Amino acid sequence: RVLAQVGVALSYHSQVRGAADIRAMAILATLPSGKWLIPTEKLLAITPDAYDPVTALTHGATLTYLPAFIRIFFATPGGYNNEAPRVQLAKLLSSDGMFTRLHGAHTNSLESWPFFAAAVLAGLHCKVDSVRLRKISTLWLILRALYIPIYAFQNKKTSGLRSLLFLWSLCLSMNLFREAASKYNREDQ
pLDDT in tens, 104-124: 999 999 999 999 999 999 999
State residue 189's pLDDT score.
Answer: 67
Provide the Cα torsion 120, 35, 130, 43; round to 10°. -110
Tens-place pLDDT, residues 45-67: 999 999 999 999 999 999 999 99
Q: What is the pLDDT of residue 9?
A: 43
Length of the chain equals 189
* Contact partners, residue 186, CB within 8 Å, separation at least 6: none
Q: Is 28 exposed, middle or buried (0-12, 13-18, 19+ CB in 10 A)?
A: middle
For the cut 80, the answer to whether the pLDDT of residue 2 exceeds it is no
pLDDT score at 14: 45
pLDDT at residue 170, as a whole number: 94
Query: What whole-number distance in Å separates Cα of residue 170 and Cα of residue 168?
Result: 5
pLDDT for residue 3:
41
Q: Would you say 118 and 55 are in contact if contact means Cβ atoms under 8 Å apart? A: no
Calpha distance 165→145 (Å, rounded): 10
CA neighbor of 159 nearest in space, from 17, 32, 42 = 17
Which one, of 50, 44, 40, lies nearest residue 170 by Cα?
Answer: 40
Task: Give me the numbers of helices (H) and strands (E) for the chain, helices first please.
Answer: 9, 0
Q: How far apart are CA 177 and CA 61, in angstroms?
A: 19
pLDDT above 60 (res 15): no
